[in-house]
A and B are shown apart, each in its own frame.
Chain A
Amino acid sequence: MALKDIDLEIQQGEFVSIIGHNGSGKSTLAKLFNALLLPTRGDVIVGGKNTKDGDKLWAIRQQVGMVFQNPDNQIVATTVEEDVAFGPENLGLSPDEIGRRVDEALALVGMEEHRHRATHLLSGGQKQRVAIAGVIAMRPSCIILDEPTSMLDPVGRREVLETVQRLNRQEGITVVLVTHFMEEAALAERVLVMADGGLALSGPPAEIFSEGEQMRQLRLDVPQIVQLAWELRRSGIPVPREIFSINELVDYLCQYA
């Protein structure tokens, strides 16, 4: 049994991250969101549509796009713009409309200047952004990213995370980020913690990461910056619990000094 008795609602426009030990069911849950998998028992409803309803399958997949871990497994075409156009072409749209969507999607992921480049020459972070653009070109309301940065170097990671945050903040796209990196999970408004196929915890990062001991019991950890903030608090510097990023902590400490 990969998942058991999960009750969960994700609102339009939310940024949710999912963390959990290897084998906790994170990826299984993510794949249920766009009907790549169907529930054995229970229902997944996407914008009022049940994923078990075969007639709604394509509408659901268009609405909820997915980006996977390995950048090399997701590129289907030889140039960037052809790759991004693949989805809209399959929707049977007019060439003008396809062009418009490709322009828009490439701009959103910051890859316009690479549109004519060969996909095999891109870096890992660029490939992941092209994969995201391919999803965006379908005009989804939600994007699910299943460990999109685990094969990337630090710059690639930053590029992908900035893109994801921009899509959520500027475009109002719902983001579900599955990750093993606690600093990434802390970027979300809400963190879901999976353990042994169930939902163990759910709440804002400040709440989740204040449970250091419980997190370790769940084979997880707390971002280093949060650990440090916690240690400083214990030593008498009242760092607010909402601080998760290096910049925030630097600003706070300089002001405190």
Chain B
Amino acid sequence: MSSAFLQDALIYLACAVVFVPIAKKLGMGSVLGYLLGGIIIGPFFLGFIGAEGKDIMHFAEFGVVMMLFLIGLELEPATFWRMRKLILGMGFMQLGATTLLCFAALFWVGFTWQAALACGLAFSMSSTAIVMQTLREKGLTKTESGRSSFAVLIFQDISVIPILALLPLLAASTTQAPSGGHATLMTGLPGWAQTLTLLIAANAVVLIGRFVFVPFLRFIARIRLRELFTAAALLIVIGTAYLMMLVGLSPALGAFLAGLVLATSEFRHELESDIEPFKGILLGLFFIAVGASINFKLIIGNPVQIMALVCGVIAIKSLVLYATGKLSRLSFDQNMIFTLGLGQVGEFAFVLFAFIAQLQILSAPWTDMMMGATAISMTITPLLLLINERLILPRFGTKEALGEKEADVIEGEHPVIIAGFGHFGSTVGRFLRANGISATILDNDSDRVEILRKMGFTVFYGDATRLDILKSAGADRAKILIAAIDSPEINFGLVERIKKEFPDLRLMVRAKSRLDAYDLLDMGIEDIYRESLDTSVRLGVDVLMKLGFRKYSATRAGQNFIKYDEAALRTLAAHRHDQEAYLFNTREQIALQEQLLANDREVFPNVHDDAWDKRAED
């Protein structure tokens, strides 16, 4: 291992560790942190990384490859089918209209029609990496804007395959000299043959996935070595990527296809949890590399052209996106998030531009300009979203608070704050309201906020983990805060923030599972409500009744079981850390169940319930 490698690793990791927490503290999200970190350590500011930044970029693109593998994995055919209208409708409209407008604009300023069309196609791509990461961090994946963004991104990601297949047909000369880069199998083939190769390769991945990967994984899983499974997972991703590279295609697409094929296999969750950490780190590296690759010399050299390009592209994309959102009847807030979120040019544009340059459709200096514009637009997106969240939406969209109403909130009038008003929080809220307790609600789905406000609820709109929103919602005066956000990560973030900033506020926390409950216990939370416990036990009680148990005995058994399970949760939580690392995440769940069942047999009191009946033993 060379010292240069260690030095590079040191710089990149330190950059991530320093800048991401700062960005998070400032409420900017991790993507912007990585990007800014990259710019600052890049050749134009501190110069810690120089020309080799490009190589790192190639390496870091592997983060994108893994991300697409994971997206493919998550996208079960059933989900895909359910969203088909959204994906095809919105996706086609966005891609088609953006390409057309960009084509027209570039043709108008004097590009050849081939170059204009190729650039238009590249510009129609948005950044799946940035958008998905941002949406997940903000907990917006389940809102209308989140679903729409996902649909459009999926359509774009899939479209890259036919676009890559089409580009050779646009090439001015069919026999182009390779520009000294790595030679691929496709180099030198005529356009139609390249198109054919591509389609064959895509089909090959699907077939190999089904008939080679799955049996291979079954074999590896039987050996029961965790690191071997991780190695196998990485091997599949890297192998597919390499194969695609060999035929001169985007490795990311190969990985996406492989993921799609494996989504229906039994290894889906294990693959997901194995690849996830690699993806996270490499994607961060990718963002840093994008930041570092921004060529400020080029910008200073042609400031007007670059800025016109960036603004023009973002303007055209946003216009099309807004119209698309409007047509699918997104409300103003959701549409603004959707529009600005997808307004940048994405990482696939790098791939496409590189390919376009290779085919000599576009000259090298212009390719540099286009790539520069792409990187700048990616950096601007998180900033635009931030401006949208802090300045535009509060003024023109759903207000964070109802201005006049806020003044009316008399001290102690709303003793309860509910963070997250999904199926869990809303039931709590309705029950409290039915008993004359009005709660202040925090939610980040603007559509829901609109409806709730119409119904007369006091609702604050925004990210519940933000200090200013918590303050304006009265967290310093309220007695109880109910943390009922659907995403456990965000809910935990909220819990941590409250414990630190408002130590007097009583926390009552929703836990999605037993494991989440353990984590909350570790954090020192007392009032933990597992969302499935009571309902499952109630169902069990009903089963006993249907089997002929007397209703009161069954009810008592249920009461005792809940009491016992709550106690067991607390005793077993302490022993949890004694266990060795488990083979798989899912194995941990199973081991947990085993432990519980053993415990049930030893101490569960119900079997000995002889209340009212002591004498019958005689």
Q: Verify that A and B bind, or say they do not.
A: no
Binding site for A on B (CB under 8 A): none
Binding site for B on A (CB under 8 A): none
